[in-house]
Structure 1
Amino acid sequence: MPINLSTISNFGGTDADEDALLLDSFEDHPAYSQIVQHERFCILGRKGSGKTAIFKKILQDRQANAFSFGHTFTDYPWHHHDKQKKAGVPEEQCFVQSWTYLCLISLSKILLNQDHSQPYSEGTVDHIQRVERFILDTYGSRDPDVTQIFSPSHKLRFSGDIGINWKIFKASTKIDSIEMEHLPTIAQEVNHNLRTSVVESLNPENHYYVLFDQLDLGFSIEDKAYSLRLIGLLLAAKELNVLAKAKGKKLTIGIFLRDDIYGSLRFEDKNKITENFAAPVYWDHGPNHRTMKSLMEKRFTTVTQSSKHIDWEEIFDELHKMTGRQTKYQYMSDRTFLRPRDMIKFCNETLTAYKASMDGAGRFENKHILAAQSHYSDYLYRELEDEIHKQISNYEFYVEVLKNLDSLQFTRDDFLQSWESRRSLLSGDDKPDLAMKQLYSFSLIGYYSPGGGAGGSEYIWKYKDQKSTFNENASQFRVHPGFKEVLGLKKFSRSDPG
């Protein structure tokens, strides 16, 4: 029986926080499997690639032997955290101890409030009691508010077994507590003792996850302190994960981070993390990828409440090709950044166009996709603006230059000519070659590579290969086709080589 598309409201939301189909239609990406199985802890991907979907999936899965706690930083008191910056150590190490402390407090919350197997053995009784005593003495609750971990209203309190060397303070009187502002002075010793008891208390039969998402909020490429905070978190997570694995414990301190932000960080152990602990979230390209088609097919199956799997071809009429003999799936994919949220949005706009046409078609046809493109193109540009405005101050002028090109296909000379014609809009000393490089870094443009990596000619795009570098000497360049409508461009120029 044909599917009645007119009864479907949508195929889900573009934001994981508002996507009602997220869990029912979750696509098991290799990155998800790797973090769940404690193989990798650093999940990298472009905004909208599905990092938060993995984050939410782990947090919302309920299993008797798996426990998790998630950090998001929309309301986190960064100013208190920043006061925990440790002096007298290399810059990249200055936040390691404060992140380690936060991770240990988070694990303590899990042990004391979620894991009912505690103490799981006689040998761990003393350890779990030490953890409980420290948390209760310092925060007055077995389940402290993580947003207040570094609040100055709290004092670090010790019952004599935390192992602090009090010689760093005046020894004239016995000290059993200190102000939170002094944590950086003794954090290494506090963490050493707390870490020993926390890790020993972890039940080797159980799985533990402490996860960090939304780390791009407030990001500025010019904010060095922000980069140092992220580096500190990465190093703290690596140390704790390696230690737990050596002890035979199933622990992951997981970090979900935009790949462009990760790429901008510079620190000594970065390559070790990249090679051994990072898992990129790729779709339709790269190693161990999944396809957006399979992701959408799960959503089709869910929204139609079908007892059998719904194939893409049951929703889209693939008998009649798009321009250039492309399938509808390939045509739509080429206009995305190969992110789930882009394909979900494009399909939703196609559904809207289908309903508006009232032509009785049984499946989505070429005309429905074409009618959807304008709204989809507006969406893609708004998504780009959310990322680009913090890093390219004059991006709006650069976009005006692209609009003035008239066609998707252009040469460097075309760009320079358009630049000059719009120069009156520019204040400052921006350079066109640098502008093209920056536009490439956000995949607004790609460049033509004859005899590309696969042996044939192709266009190189940053969103497909984060390691690629811009070639200013390329013979041809192309604006990403997803921006064609919003920029008012024609399809190609006559000089298009392919």
Structure 2
Amino acid sequence: MREDIFSTFDINDRNKLREDCSKSLRWTQEAIEKLVLARINFYAKAAGEQEISSLHDIFHEKEMRSRTPPVKHIYNRTMGRPRDMVAFLSRSFRTAREENLVDGDTDKIQAKAIYLAEPGYSEYLYEELSDEWRNQNIHFHDYLGTLEKLRYAAITTVELEEALSSKHIVSDRAGFRNIVRFLFENSIIGVTVGNSYQWRYRCFYPTQAFVDTETIKVHPGLIKRLGLLEGSSERATVSNNGESEI
């Protein structure tokens, strides 16, 4: 059973049952890559095509503009689920064919196909979240619309609280913390912990508890759909003392 669904049950000893009688099943990046690779090779074999030994063999470039390998770039924009990886790769393959971005000698896909496919994938991820929450949380689209209007991927919590207050969505500190907790627990935003500048999203750090922090960052997979700039707002930059984000 999904943990977020279990958390909505109004039953006695719910937390005790979670701690004593449950076990969390989590996908690692390695496990997802192996699953997707097996799927690709299954269809390659059926079509009489050569199988590959690694997902990295699919792409022509070894690094994206951010110096991140293409497979890692794609994984970082998932919610840590196989279906997200498949959705992004499928869009990348289709884009590569349509835009003639396949190397003629090696049949490898150019990184440009990933960039061109990313907006469509981001729309998919947004709709996945919308399908899950729009009926359970009537303010879900208000939350994401507020993030969209703030323009930057990394913002301060003060900026978010001011924006939500101006829409009369939140009226006190407790209500605001509940909203930020909701966004964090659904990996819509990530936080930093202590002196680290590593952004932590719940989907990648499942044991990370919600913490109050001065700055937050929207999940990379949602940035294109929300039309955000990749960097930090001016107030977030000052809050981070000009340090680089990882």
Same fold (TM over 0.5): yes
- Return the letter of the residue paired with 2:157: R
Task: Give 1:383's match in structure 2, choosing from 128, 138, 141.
Answer: 128
2:219 corresponds to which residue?
A: 480
Q: Which amino acid aligns with 1:345?
A: A
Q: Match of 1:335, SS?
A: coil
Alignment partner, residue 260 of structure 1: 4
Contact 2:95-2:117 within 8 A present in 1 as well: yes
Q: Unaligned regions of 5+ residues in structure 1, if any?
A: 1-256
CA shift, 1:375, in A, is 0.6
- 1:331–1:359 Cα change, 3 Å: closer
**Paired residue for 1:406?**
151
Root mean square deviation, CA, Å: 2.6
Separation (CA, whole Å) in 1 of partners of 2:202 and 2:224: 21
Q: What is the CA–CA distance in structure 1 between the aligned matches of 2:65 and 2:58, rounded to whole Å?
A: 19
Cα deviation 1:183-234 (Å, max 9, x = unaligned): xxxxxxxxxxxxxxxxxxxxxxxxxxxxxxxxxxxxxxxxxxxxxxxxxxxx
Change (3 A) 1:312 1:391: same
Q: Take 2:100 and 2:110, find their aligned partners in 1: how far apart are those partners?
A: 13
Tell me the secondary structure at the aligned position of residue 432 of structure 1: helix
How far residue 450 of structure 1 moved from its aligned partner, in angstroms, is 2.9
Q: Is the 8 A contact 2:153 2:223 kept in 1?
A: yes
Q: Which residue of 1 aligns with 2:90?
A: 348
In the TM superposition, residue 483 of structure 1 has moved relative to its aligned partner by 0.5
Matched-pair contact (CA < 8 Å) for 2:101–2:109? no
**Aligned-pair CA distance for 1:458:** 2.3
**Over residues 275-324 of structure 1, what are the superposed CA-to-partner deviations in whole Å (9 max), with x where a residue is unaligned?**
45x44331226xxxx522111111121111157554212212342x1132
Secondary structure of the structure 1 residue equivalent to 2:217: strand
C-alpha change, 1:307 and 1:375, in structure 2 (3 Å) is closer
| Cα 1:259–1:297 shift into 2, 3 Å | same
- The alpha carbon displacement at 1:462 in A equals 2.3
Q: Is 2:54 aligned against 1:311?
A: yes
2:186 is aligned with 1:446: no
Which structure 2 residues correspond to residues 130-141 of structure 1 after superposition, within 5 A? none
- Summarize the Cα distance change of 1:427–1:273 in structure 2 as closer, same or farther, 3 Å threshold: closer
Letter in 2 for 1:326: T
1:371 counterpart residue number: 116
CA pair 279-366 structure 1, distance change in 2 beyond 3 A: same
Residues 298 and 309, structure 1, Cα contact 8 Å, conserved in 2: no
- Counterpart residue identity of residue 60, structure 2: D
Structure-2 residue corresponding to 1:470: 210
**2:176 corresponds to which letter in structure 1?**
P
Which of 65, 70, 93 aligns to 1:328? It is: 70
Task: Tell me the number of residue pairs that the alignment of Structure 1 and Structure 2 aligns.
Answer: 228
TM-score, normalised to structure 1's length?
0.42
